[in-house]
Amino acid sequence: MARKHHAASLSPVPGDAQADILVQNVTMQFRRAKDEPSSVKEWVVRSLRREKKYEYFRALDRVSFRVGRGEVVGIIGTNGSGKSTLLKIIAGALIPTRGAVFTDRDRVQLLTLGTGFDPELTGRENVYLNGAIIGYSRAFIDRKYEEIVAFAELEDAMEEKVRNYSSGMVSRLGFAIATAQDTPEILILDEVLSVGDLFFRKKSEARIREMIHGGSTVLIVSHAPSVIRENCSRAIWIEKGRLRADGDPQEVCGAYEKMRG
């Protein structure tokens, strides 16, 4: 019998007019191949014999929290702890295995860098491609194009193919595209505060601070305690899929650093 998945509710938070996001007992489980075959031949033989084995990996385990309207909340944890998975569930890109998320999807903007870049297209073409993936109209990109290029500091490179860009150039262009629109009501940032060199990082942090202080409800994901301390009024620590702490950024980040040390 097939397992039933509980769809994430993307309606406003029921019975709580002061909350923008409510995460209730969210569990996310992925299936992955166990004992990967070492060759194509072995994979074919196993498939024909129906010997393929799978195991289930629990990325999130009964995570619950509430984000009030106008709060700036940081989510911290080591790599692979389920932070980005959680953000994708909140944004509606993934459906949890169990539990529910209540928010208004139409008010959510998820900023993550580098999604949808084609190395065989020019920088100019990628602005339109990446912008379309984010949800921008062509008219909006036409209007914002020069501003995006200037912010990324790539005026002389937009007709080159992205495969010739350095990783820093790609990050700068991705950040400029992702932050081109007006500040959304619910802003979700997935590791976007570590872009480019020191000078550009300061510039990108200033742009994000403008968005944060524009009145948005903000979720910031990072594995860097300094980012959470400097930008957030509250911190949530998720480790290996479980919620470990929720509270003052200094205290939560201190506990996280002690664990890592």
Lowest mean pLDDT among 29-38, 69-78, 85-94, 246-255: 29-38
Three-class secondary structure of residue 4 per DSSP: coil
Q: Which pTM value belongs to this model?
A: 0.74
Residues 205/193, Cβ–Cβ less than 8 Å: yes
User: What are the contacts of 152-158 at 24+ separation with CB within 8 A?
Assistant: 152/176, 153/200, 154/123, 157/123, 158/122, 158/123, 158/124, 158/127
Is the pLDDT score of 217 beyond 50? yes
Q: What is the pLDDT of residue 50?
A: 65
Report the chain's mean pLDDT, rounded to a whole number: 84
Q: What is the largest CA-CA distance in the chain?
A: 59
Percent of the chain with pLDDT strictly greater than 90: 46
